Amino acid sequence: SQQGEEDPQALSIQEGENATMNCSYKTSINNLQWYRQNSGRGLVHLILIRSNEREKHSGRLRVTLDTSKKSSSLLITASRAADTASYFCATANFGNEKLTFGTGTRLTIIP
């Protein structure tokens, strides 16, 4: 099973609204990362939050991490049509470089 499971699998919102995606994982982690994938492209790193951090911001992105619940959320504020993409969470365990990716949330922004 996937280390990271995103929820919801798909999300459609109007441009300008906020989008929230969630990620749950199973084991202890070193950090959790969020990536974006536009159709037909490679993944692009968005933000990394370490296990000792609870919240992090980058531009219109806000990520929270709750290690007690083994969950994270990604909030995109004031969404734009260009935010239409799939979003993946990825977890890094202690001691190695591997990332385990979730199944992704497909976000559609309706103009």
Partner 1 sequence: DARVTQTPRHKVTEMGQEVTMRCQPILGHNTVFWYRQTMMQGLELLAYFRNRAPLDDSGMPKDRFSAEMPDATLATLKIQPSEPRDSAVYFCASGSGYRGDEQYFGPGTRLTVT
* Helices and strands in the chain: count of H runs, count of E runs: 0, 11
Q: How many CA atoms lie within 13 A of 64 on its CB side?
A: 10
Shortest Cβ distance from residue 47 to partner 1 (Å)?
9
**Choice from 23, 83, 85, 88 touching partner 1 (CB under 8 A):** 88
**Choice from 2, 22, 64, 67 touching partner 1 (CB under 8 A):** 2
Query: Under the rule (CB under 8 A), what is the footprint of partner 1?
Result: 2, 30-31, 33, 35, 41-45, 48, 88, 92-104
